[in-house]
Amino acid sequence: MSRTRTEETLQEALPEGSDKGRAVRVMFDAVAPRYDLVNAIMTFGLDRRWRRATVAALGLPRGSRVVDLACGTGDLCADLARAGLRPIGFDVSAGMLAAAHTTVSLVRADVASLPLPDGSVDGATCGFALRNLVDLPAFLTEVARIVRPGGRIGLLEVAEPSNRALRLGHRLYFTRVVPRIGAALSDGAAYRYLPRSVAYLPTVDALVGAVAAAGFPDADRRTFSGGVVQLLVGTRS
């Protein structure tokens, strides 16, 4: 799929299956050089606070081995390392890995099929990537496979506020302002796709239920910044 065709797909219809996988990979390769800059601007720097909250929610002792899945440029990996954990990142986008700014080991791999033994890690994180996965249930099953019993997960993702006024304001910002920031600083098609990609996410109850069913029966959901971001946490049974 060419870059032009990918942009058309992202603009006209939300892709599914293998088309989605290719389109998302090409999109992230394209936005990688300025990805961190755009994130910091469009979140007003709150992305750093959300990542730190994710690391804290794991509640794992120093020295624990944690994988960050769909790690992008390695921001969450760096936060994990600063907390005394031993992270390794995995991402399918070569462009994102090439733009990484961390000394943590990063591996190019499909996060739904990881080159890791069963129960080999103490925890797993994922930042703002659930909606970009081709098969969310398969991903959750894979996470459950690699995390040892008693291990912890923290899955960070966008959300919509429950408060009507906040929801309307957030929707306006997300659908009107964010695409303009992205177009000015990076790739317009990618940042027009971003707010639309929320449609891939299951309902709150279904998402928490899917995490629980995958092997994390105590799955819980927390929200930040008025409900614009959600964090799914759980302990491997």
pLDDT (tens digit per residue) in 154-204: 999 999 999 999 999 999 999 999 999 999 999 988 999 988 999 999 999
pLDDT (tens digit per residue) in 83-133: 999 999 999 999 999 999 899 999 999 999 999 999 999 999 999 999 999
The rounded distance, in Å, linking the Cα atoms of 178 and 131 is 17
pTM: 0.92
Residue 131 has a pLDDT of 96
Mean predicted confidence (pLDDT) in 140-159: 98
**67 has pLDDT over 80:** yes
Give the mean pLDDT of the chain.
93
Phi, psi of 235 (to 5 degrees): -115, 130
Q: What is the share, in percent, of the chain residues with pLDDT greater than 70?
A: 95
Q: Which residue type occupies 41? A: I
If you count them, how many residues does the chain have? Answer: 237
For the chain, the domains span: 3-235
Residue 194 has a pLDDT of 87
- What's the topology of domain 3-235? Rossmann fold (3.40.50)
Residue 6 has a pLDDT of 44
Kindly indicate the confidence band of residue 12, based on its pLDDT and cuts at 50, 70 and 90: low
Secondary structure tally for the chain: helices H, strands E: 11, 7
Kindly indicate the confidence band of residue 4, based on its pLDDT and cuts at 50, 70 and 90: very low
Q: What is the DSSP letter of 119?
A: T
**13 has pLDDT over 90:** no
**28 has pLDDT over 90:** yes
CB 232 within 8 Å of CB 221: yes
| CA nearest neighbour of 230 among 215, 217, 219, 218 | 219
**138 has pLDDT over 60:** yes
